Amino acid sequence: QSVLTQPPSVSAAPGQHVTISCTGSSSNVESNYVSWYQQLPGTAPKLLIYDNIQRPSGIPDRFSGSKSGTTATLAITGLQPGDEAVYYCGTWDRSLSGEGVFGGGTKLTVL
């Protein structure tokens, strides 16, 4: 059971948009920066969003992040077949001695 809760799967047709939620608590999502990663099959994760809303250079603006309270959200617009992947959120949890935490991952299917 992951500390951060993500829906196991989402799906949409090409060209449409989807949102993926990442729900945590006051000790993690609410009080720390959230990052989002895309993992294609058999590859390492790739950073999409950091500091809740920032995109690294080279990441298209079809990908955007937001955060409100204990929930962070990744939005993807103009879906493309190449977006089919597993998406993870990650942040820091400051309970006890502190630790990094990830969501369980959300499988995006582009129909």
Partner 1 sequence: QVLLQESGPGLVKPSETLSLTCSVAGDSINDYYWNWIRQSPGKGLEWVGYTLYGGNSYYNPSLTSRVTISIDMSENQVSLKLTSVTAADTAVYFCARSDYGGNNKIDSWGQGTLVTVSS
Enumerate binding residues for partner 1 (CB under 8 A).
2, 32-35, 37, 43-47, 50-51, 56, 88, 90-92, 96-105
Asked if residues 106 and 6 have their Cβ atoms less than 8 Å apart, the reply is: yes
Residue closer to partner 1 (CB basis): 76 or 91: 91
Q: Is the dihedral of CA 63, 105, 8, 43 positive or negative?
A: positive
Residue closer to partner 1 (CB basis): 18 or 48: 48
Pull the structure tokens for residue 62: 């079809």
Pull the structure tokens for residue 4: 């951060």
Residue closer to partner 1 (CB basis): 62 or 102: 102
Pull the structure tokens for residue 102: 């990830």
* CB of 13 vs partner 1, minimal distance in Å: 26
* CB of 82 vs partner 1, minimal distance in Å: 19
Cα separation of 56 and 47, whole Å? 7
* CB of 88 vs partner 1, minimal distance in Å: 5
